[in-house]
Structure 1
C-alpha cells in the first residue's frame, strides 16, 4: 500500500504542475483537462497518508507537503468555476423580449440517434443552433428544420469537422473561413436581431491536440486566439461558441478571454461539463458559449444525452449594456505570446 501511495502521489504531483509548462505537445496539454479529477484524487490521497503512515519521516512529510501544495493549487484553479466565485457574466434583470437563445451540439459524426437531437431542438426551440461533427447524413436528417429556421449555413464534411448553422434570426451576412487548417472550417455570422441590433457570432471546432489528429495544440490555440484578436476590434455584441476542444480553465482559454475581452458565463456558476457523456468520472467543459460584455445571462443549461460523446449546451442571454460585467485584461507579454502562438501556426 505504501508503494502504491508513493507512486500515485508522484503521478498526481507531476500531473498538477505539467500544465504549467508552456509546451504545445499533446503529452503536456492532455493534463489540462482533468483538473477537478486531479483535485479529488489529491484530496483522497492527502487524507490517506496520515491513515497509512510511513516509517521514513522525511519521505512522509515531503510527499504530504507536496500533495498539500498541489491540492491548494488545484483548488485555486478550480475556484472560478464554482458558485462561490464572483460571476463573470451578471444575471439578467430582464425577461422576455430581448432574450437570445443559442444551442451547441457536437452530435458525434458516427452517432445515428438523429431523432434524439431533433426532439431536443423541437423542445427547446432556440433562436439558433450550431451542430458540429456533421456529415451529409446529418445535414439530410435535420433539413426539415429549414422551414422554422430559414437562415442556414451547411458545411457537411466526412472528416468530423462538418458544421451546420440554423437560425430563426435574420442573417445579414456570413463567411465560412479556414483560419488555420484547410479542412477545418469556422463560421462568422452577422445577425440582425431587431431590437437587439446587430450581433456577430463565431462558430468554431478546431482540431484537438491528440496523436490521431494534431500532436501539438498549436493549430487549435492559433484558431482560438485568431478569433480573439478579431473580436477585440469589435464594439458590437459578440458570441463565440462551439466545441473548442479545450477546457475553460486552460491557459489558452484564459488568454483568449484576456485578448478578446470576452466573458465566460460559467465562471461563478459551475463547470457545466459537456464531455465525456458516457463516462461520468471523466467529464470536463469542452463546449463553450462565450459572450461580450453587452450580455447578461438568464440561463445556462447542459442538456440530456443524445447519443453523442458530448452533451448539448444552451445559453439564454439578454442584451443589457448597462451591466457590471468585468472581464480579464491582457498584459503586454500575454499579447506578444498570443501573437507568437498565431505566428507559429
Structure 2
C-alpha cells in the first residue's frame, strides 16, 4: 500500500504539478500544457498494470486519479453552445498567428474573405505582413494597426478592423512583453476588443509569461465588456491562466464543446496538439461558435469564433 501511494504521487506530480506548488517550474509548466494527452497515456499504463496482481492497488489508485482528471476536463468537449438572447448582436473574431510572416498571406486573406470577421488578431505580423494580407482582401474594407515593442519579429502584433465597426480608436494601454492592441469606440459601444500575444513559458522565461498573465487578469476583471483574441501561449490546464481568467472571463472554445481542438503545433497529428490560441470574452457576452482552419506556412491553426454581445453594451 505504501509503495502504491508513492507511485500515485510520482504519477500525479507531472499531471497536476499545481497541487505540489511546482507548476511554475520547468519542465512542469511546459508538460501541463499537454495534460489531456498525459491522462490518456497514464490511463493506458494503469490498464497494463492491472495484469500483475501485485500492481493492482497502484493501478486502481492511478485509475481514480485519471477519472477525476477526466471529469474535470470533459466539459470542454461536452458543453453545448447557448442560444443568444434576443437583445444581442453578433461579432465574428478571427485569430491567426502568422509565424513572423511565414504564413501564406493569400491563405489568410482568403479565410478573411470567406468568414468576414469584424476583427482579425494577427500575432507575429509586422507592418509589411499585415499590409500584404490587407492588399489581397479584394474590396473588403479593413483598417490595419501594428504594435511592435522590440525589434524581435515575434513581438509584433497586428490587427485588422472591419469598416463595419465604424470609427474605432486603437491604442496600447497596459505593458506586455509582446505587442497588443486595444480597439474601442465606433459601433462597439462599451465593448472593447484586444488583440493579444502572450509571452511563451520557455524554461528561462516563466516570469515574463506570468507577467503577461497578470495583465490579462486586469483586462478580465475590468468593468467594460471585453473580448481578448490571440495566441496566449497558455492552456486551461495552466493554473496561472485559469487564475488570470478568474470568474469573469470565459474561453469560447470549451464553452461550445470545442476545448480539445489543439491549435499548436500543426506539424504534429491533431491528437498531439494543444489549444493555446483563444478568444476570451467576459460575461455577459455569450459564446456562439468556434472553428479552426489550417493555414499554409504557420505552426498554428487559425481560429474563427462568433459571440453574442448585449445590444446595450
Residues 13 and 20, structure 2, Cα contact 8 Å, conserved in 1: no
Distance between the aligned counterparts of 1:48 and 1:10, measured in 2? Answer: 18
Query: Which deviations, in whole Å up to 9, do the C-alpha atoms of 1:189-225 show, x marking residues without a partner?
Result: 21422xx6231112221211114xxx24222222222
Alignment correspondent of 1:37: 37
Distance 2:272 2:10 in 1: 17
TM superposition shift of 1:180: 4.0
Select 1:179's aligned residue among 175, 178, 188.
175
Equivalent in 86, 103, 107 of residue 116 of structure 1: 107
CA distance in 2, matches of 1:321, 1:62: 57
Distance 2:294 2:12 in 1: 34
1:216-255 to 2 correspondence within 5 Å?
Answer: 216-234=205-223, 236-255=224-243
Q: Is the 8 A contact 1:12 1:38 kept in 2?
A: no
Partner of 1:72: 67
Aligned pair in 2 of structure 1 residues 304, 148: CA closer, same or farther (>3 Å)?
same
1:92-130 alpha-carbon deviations (Å, 9 max, x no partner): 2559x8211010011112525222212211211111101
What is the alpha-carbon distance in structure 1 between the residues aligned to residue 89 and residue 133 of structure 2? 27
- Partner in structure 2 of residue 17 of structure 1: 16
> Cα 1:192–1:300, aligned 2, differ >3 Å: closer, same or farther?
same
How far the C-alpha of 1:10 sits from its partner, in A, is 8.6
For 1:248 and 1:170, the matched residues in 2 are separated by 34
SS of corresponding position for 1:263: strand
- Residue 277 of structure 1, CA deviation: 1.4
* Equivalent residues, number: 297
Q: 1:117-145 CA distances to partner (integer Å, 9 max, x unpaired)?
A: 12211211111101111234413412414
Q: Which residue in 2 is equivalent to 1:99?
A: 90
In the other structure, the counterpart of 1:276 is 265
Q: How far apart are 1:14 and its partner, in Å?
A: 3.5
Partner of 2:305: 315
Work out the CA distance in 2 between the residues paired with 1:243 and 1:46: 35
Tell whether 2:279 aligns with 1:289.
yes
| Aligned equivalent of 1:340 | none
Flag the 1:203–1:311 CA change in 2: closer, same or farther, 3 A: same
Q: Distance in 2 between matches of 1:129 and 1:246?
A: 20
Distance 1:134 1:12 in 2: 40
Q: 1:189 to 1:40 in 2, by over 3 A?
A: same
- In 2, the alpha carbon distance for the partners of 1:198 and 1:256 equals 22
Partner of 1:198: 190
Deviation by residue 1:276-302 (Cα, 9 ceiling, x = unmatched)? 112123211101101121322332111
Partner of 1:151: 143
Q: 1:160 to 1:186 in 2, by over 3 A?
A: same
Unpaired stretches in structure 1, ≥5 consecutive residues: 1-7, 323-345
TM-score under structure 1 length normalisation:
0.76
TM-score, normalised to structure 2, is: 0.83
Report the Cα distance in structure 1 between the residues aligned to 2:142 and 2:127, rounded to whole angstroms.
19
SS of 1:34 mapped into structure 2 = helix
Q: Verify the 8 A CA contact 1:106 1:312 in the aligned structure 2.
A: yes
Q: Is 1:188 the counterpart of 2:182 in the alignment? A: yes
Tell me, in whole angstroms, the C-alpha distance in 1 between the residues paired with 2:173 and 2:128. Answer: 22
Q: Deviations over 1:22-63 (max 9, x none)?
A: 342332211221111011112211222223x26xx2xx1353
User: C-alpha offsets along residues 266-319 of structure 1, whole Å, 9 cap, x if unaligned?
Assistant: 334131321111212321110110112132233211123432111001111122
| Inter-partner Cα distance in structure 1 for 2:107 and 2:37 | 29
